[in-house]
Amino acid sequence: MDPEVKELDIASLVNKAIAEHGATREAVIPILSEINRALGYIPAAALPEIRRHIHVPEEGVFLADSHLYSAASFYQLFSLRPLGRHVIRFCESAPCHVMGGRQVIQALQDELRLEPGETGEDRKWSLLMTSCLGVCGVGPVFLVDDDIYGNATPEQVAEILARYE
């Protein structure tokens, strides 16, 4: 997830996303998802590139950069700035909290030396808070990238983090 993504990469990514989801307004969120997934975030340069494909006045479809920015900034899973190589999403909703979440987040903060929302200077870790992930039966829960860790305890934190380069 290199913050300095080249123009050509963005263009080809957008083309690929458009090819898969179509060049319509309804495809905007899936397209943004693809880019976010590939790069870890949505670079500003991607928006005019997406707009280029979808803005077709000849067919009565008008799309401005502002529309895309407003959609991209609304959804929690999207990031508009580059994140760390590994992104931790810690569930801070009531069930996980009641099941002992407070101690686990404290352990994560201590281990990473990051406050919630921060990305480390070495760009290895981003620690983000998230709302309920829908695995409440095994709370407390946190994600590391796509891996789900349930029944988490403060003692497990160090070992879990050590698994990631």
Exposed, middle or buried, 14 (CB in 10 Å: 0-12/13-18/19+)?
buried
Does 139 help bind other proteins (rule: CB under 8 A)? yes
Tell me the H-state helices in the chain: 7-21, 28-39, 46-54, 65-74, 94-96, 102-112, 157-162
Hey, CA dihedral for 13, 14, 16, 17, is it positive or negative? positive
Taking the C-alpha atoms of residue 25 and residue 117, their distance in angstroms, rounded to an integer, is 30
Q: Which of 9, 16, 24, 160 binds other proteins (CB under 8 A)?
A: 24
Contact string (CB under 8 A) for other proteins, positions 91-130, x = contact: -xxxx-xxx------------------------------x
Does 158 help bind other proteins (rule: CB under 8 A)? no
Structure tokens at 93: 């909703």
Q: Which of 6, 106, 137, 158 binds other proteins (CB under 8 A)?
A: 137
CB of 56 to other proteins, least distance (A): 10
Q: Which of 1, 11, 78, 85 binds other proteins (CB under 8 A)?
A: 78
- Residues, the chain: 165
Q: Which of 12, 15, 76, 153 binds other proteins (CB under 8 A)?
A: 76
Does 134 help bind other proteins (rule: CB under 8 A)? yes
Does 33 help bind other proteins (rule: CB under 8 A)? yes
Does 71 help bind other proteins (rule: CB under 8 A)? yes
Quote the distance between the C-alpha of residue 151 and its chain's center.
23
Structure tokens at 68: 């895309």
Residues that bind other proteins (CB under 8 A): 24-30, 32-33, 36, 44, 47-48, 57-58, 60, 62, 64-71, 73-78, 92-95, 97-99, 130-139, 146
